[in-house]
């Protein structure tokens, strides 16, 4: 468990591993814990929330935060908001997107690009109060540790001098963490695009035989699952934005500016998610197009082969007719007993071949197909 006391005005951050007994006079508190830790310390956590915020999490929301299979969604009460957001981050171990949080080596090995197998889609839960943010992460969550490090670095003198600002509210902190989770996938898309381009080259190369069809099918399935995850993410963030619009108006200029900044940051997160959705769908279309082009090219090659075989058969068919004609067992046949019969027949056969070959070349029956 990591507990942070964040004061944006004075640019101060303090960290502890103990649940706070009271809220600070300024700033807010961020409690970040692992899912299993939250399950074990559930009663202490509820007591802490009751003392600090005057309310506890509903049982249904506790179940949502503990559910490792829950899709992204948003819910709210009159005292707090709950957002469950499935991350798209590079996990420390290979994960199966159909069973988030479970290492792939505990299940059957799957094909597809290695980058897809490294994407961990475990959900992260956020409970947003007025002066407290509770986050529930997978065990050894790299997203939590990475943002905690960024938060601590932001409180340094160099960061203050460069104008780096700390989160002004629990909602602002939640959006920054969500934005980091979304950007984690955007950093992986270059490798995924490179893998898809390699497969396209292999599929369209006429000198190679592509046999990695299981990987193609697994990649299409994985991209389809990513598309569904991103759609749930977009719906959850859109519900959050709609909820923010219904919040009561604030009179003070500073608070009003913070509210507008929160709306801007929310729309920015939504725009990043839409970029991910666009990229995933483009990868799906790219994989589907490559497969269709591969089969079209194979059909075109088959047509070329059949056309060549048909032309060769048509050239030698008259010769077979002549040899079959003279192979009949009759006693009296033309030129059969003549000394020049062989050369006459041979010359006629050569002329027939030349005429048929010239006809095929003129009609481009034997022309090489352009690739």
CATH classification at residue 324: 1.20.58.340
In whole angstroms, give the CA distance from residue 167 to residue 169: 6
Domain count, the chain: 2
In whole angstroms, give the CA distance from residue 265 to residue 103: 33
Q: Encoding tokens for residue 214?
A: 């299981």
Q: Which helix (H) or strand (E) holds 237?
A: helix 213-245
* 55 domain residue, yes or no: yes
**Could you say which of 166, 197, 226 is where a domain stops?**
166
* pLDDT above 70 for 209: no
% of the chain at pLDDT higher than 70: 82
For 176-206, what is each residue's pLDDT tens digit? Answer: 888 888 877 766 777 777 777 776 777 667 6
Band of pLDDT at residue 108, cut at 50, 70 and 90: very low
* 268 domain residue, yes or no: no
State the average pLDDT over residues 14-23. 84
CATH number at residue 143: 3.30.460.20
State the average pLDDT over residues 74-98. 73
Q: Encoding tokens for residue 241?
A: 């934005």
pLDDT of residue 212: 65
Residue of 104, 107, 108, 106 whose CA lies nearest to 117: 104
Across the chain, what does the average pLDDT equal? 79
In whole angstroms, give the CA distance from residue 290 to residue 122: 30
* 140 domain residue, yes or no: yes
Q: Is 180 helix (H, G, I), strand (E, B) or coil?
A: helix
- Residue 284 in contact with residue 219, Cβ under 8 Å? no
Pairing of strands 89-90, 119-120: antiparallel
Q: How far is CA 246 from the centre of its chain?
A: 33
* 39 domain residue, yes or no: yes
* 193 domain residue, yes or no: no
For 214-233, what is each residue's pLDDT tens digit? Answer: 767 777 777 777 788 888 98
Domain coverage including residue 36? 1-87+122-166
**Could you say which of 104, 131, 166 is where a domain stops?**
166
Please name the residues in contact with 365: beta carbons below 8 A apart, sequence gap of 6 or more: 307, 311
* 239 domain residue, yes or no: no
State the average pLDDT over residues 152-178. 78
pTM score of the predicted model: 0.70
For 353-367, what is each residue's pLDDT tens digit? Answer: 888 888 877 877 766
Q: Which helix (H) or strand (E) holds 329?
A: none
- Residue 48 in contact with residue 19, Cβ under 8 Å? yes
* pLDDT above 80 for 271: yes
Mean pLDDT is lowest, of 33-37, 178-182, 265-269, 335-339, for 335-339
Band of pLDDT at residue 31, cut at 50, 70 and 90: very high
* 313 domain residue, yes or no: yes
**Could you say which of 166, 192, 226 is where a domain stops?**
166
* pLDDT above 60 for 322: yes
Band of pLDDT at residue 115, cut at 50, 70 and 90: low
* 160 domain residue, yes or no: yes
Q: Is 31 helix (H, G, I), strand (E, B) or coil?
A: strand
pLDDT of residue 129: 93
């Amino acid at each position: 468990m990591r507990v942070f006391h964040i004061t944006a005005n004075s640019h101060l951050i303090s960290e502890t591993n103990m649940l706070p007994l009271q809220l600070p006079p300024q700033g807010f508190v961020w409690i970040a814990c692992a899912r299993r830790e939250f399950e074990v310390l559930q009663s202490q956590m509820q007591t802490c929330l009751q003392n600090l915020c005057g309310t506890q999490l509903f049982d249904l929301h506790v179940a949502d935060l503990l559910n490792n299979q829950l899709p992204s969604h948003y819910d709210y009460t009159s005292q707090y908001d709950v957002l469950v957001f499935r991350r798209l981050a590079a996990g420390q171990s290979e994960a199966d997107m159909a069973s988030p949080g479970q290492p792939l080596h505990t299940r059957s090995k799957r094909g597809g690009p290695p980058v897809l197998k490294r994407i961990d889609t475990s959900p992260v839960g956020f409970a947003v109060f007025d002066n407290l943010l509770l986050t529930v992460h997978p065990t050894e969550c790299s997203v939590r540790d990475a943002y905690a490090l960024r938060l601590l670095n932001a409180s340094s003198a160099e960061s203050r001098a460069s104008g780096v600002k700390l989160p002004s509210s629990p909602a602002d902190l939640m959006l920054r963490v969500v934005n980091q989770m979304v950007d984690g996938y955007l950093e992986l898309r270059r490798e995924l695009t490179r893998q898809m381009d390699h497969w396209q080259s292999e599929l369209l190369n006429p000198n190679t035989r592509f046999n990695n069809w299981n990987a193609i099918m697994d990649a299409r399935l994985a991209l389809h699952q990513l598309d569904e995850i991103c759609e749930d993410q977009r719906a959850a963030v859109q519900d959050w934005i709609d909820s923010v619009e219904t919040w009561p108006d604030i009179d003070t200029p500073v608070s009003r500016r913070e509210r507008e900044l929160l709306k801007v940051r929310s729309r920015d997160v939504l725009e990043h998610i839409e970029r991910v959705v666009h990229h995933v769908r483009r990868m799906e279309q790219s994989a589907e197009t490559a497969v269709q082009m591969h089969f079209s090219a194979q059909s075109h090659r088959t047509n070329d082969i059949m056309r060549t075989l048909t032309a060769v058969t048509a050239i030698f068919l008259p010769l077979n007719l002549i040899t079959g004609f003279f192979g009949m067992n009759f006693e009296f046949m033309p030129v059969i007993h003549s000394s020049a019969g062989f050369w006459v027949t041979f010359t006629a056969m050569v002329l027939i071949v030349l005429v048929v070959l010239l006809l095929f070349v003129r009609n481009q029956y034997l022309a090489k197909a352009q690739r």
